[in-house]
Amino acid sequence: MKSKDIIKRIERLGGRVVARSGKGSHTKMACRCGTYKTTVPKDDNVHPKTCKSIEIALAPCLGDGWLRRRG
């Protein structure tokens, strides 16, 4: 999965970008309540275990399986 897709999905579910580094390799994201935060690597192919970690980090706010769900 691409990092752009992960970031778009978080934003569509009400999340927001907390910090985006210009030349850096990561984007910090927060869920809609702001309590749960995670870092998304800027990569064309994010490792499946990294995707799972991002999903778990925001699951209390966005719901279980939010990254795997379509729509």
Instruction: Walk me through the domains of the chain, giving residue ranges and CATH numbers.
Output: 3-62 (3.30.920.30)
Give the pLDDT of the chain (71 residues) as one tens digit per residue: 999 999 999 999 999 999 876 777 899 999 988 889 999 998 899 999 999 999 999 999 999 999 887 75
Q: How far apart are CA 59 and CA 69, in angstroms?
A: 12
| pLDDT value of position 32 | 87
In what helix (H) or strand (E) does residue 33 lie, and over which residues does it extend?
Answer: none
Residue 40 contacts residue 50 (beta carbons within 8 Å): no
Residue 8 contacts residue 19 (beta carbons within 8 Å): no
